[in-house]
A = this chain, B = another copy of it.
Amino acid sequence: MDRIEALFAIEQIKQLKARYFECLDGKRWSEWGALFTEDATMDIAGDQPGAGNVVKTAAAITDTVSRLLTGVTSVHHGHMPRIEILSADKATGIWAMEDLLVWAADAPRQGPFSRLHGYGHYHETYARRGEHWRIDSLRLTRLHLELS
């Protein structure tokens, strides 16, 4: 792949992740779910109390995350991507992240806290499906987490 193709793919993946965040915090779940490959995996088990183990398939990821964020105002930001294009349809990426979750008074809780402010990294792989890059796997690690 030449430099133009690689730069173009990197920008496409940055915009894919931008839509990920917009749809996640805007609770546009069907649009959000379509950003993953059908058999994508998500591993946020390490830090999200109650999140359980690795979640498999886009449908299960969407179902799990939409339930976790019911009644929660969320802000997720990504920073400083290191995206590597491995081939015409495979890529990897590491993103720094920050998230702020505020539970409404009557929302189901994940633990004895109503506010979560965290920092960490997404470790991701991407696959191209036709014209579009999709998230094929997502693993979240944490640097710091403040619960109150």
Q: Which of A80-124 contact B (CB under 8 A)?
A: 80-82, 94, 96, 98, 100, 102, 119, 121
Interface range on chain A (Cβ under 8 Å from partner): 20 to 34
B73 touches A144 (CB 8 A): yes
Indicate how many identical chains form the complex. 3
CA distance A108 to B144 in the complex (A): 19
In the complex, which residues of chain B have a beta carbon less than 8 angstroms from the beta carbon of A18? 80-82, 94, 96
In the complex, which residues of chain B have a beta carbon less than 8 angstroms from the beta carbon of A98? 75, 77
Dominant secondary structure at the A interface: strand
**Given A8-B7, A10-B11, A96-B22, A80 and B80 contact (CB-CB distance below 8 Å):** no
CA distance A22 to B81 in the complex (A): 10
**Given A3-B4, A8-B3, A22-B96, A15 and B78 contact (CB-CB distance below 8 Å):** no
Interface assignment of A67: CB less than 8 Å from any CB of chain B: no
In the complex, which residues of chain B have a beta carbon less than 8 angstroms from the beta carbon of A11? 7, 10
In the complex, which residues of chain B have a beta carbon less than 8 angstroms from the beta carbon of A14? 80-81
Q: Quote the shortest CB–CB distance from A46 to chain B (angstroms).
A: 15
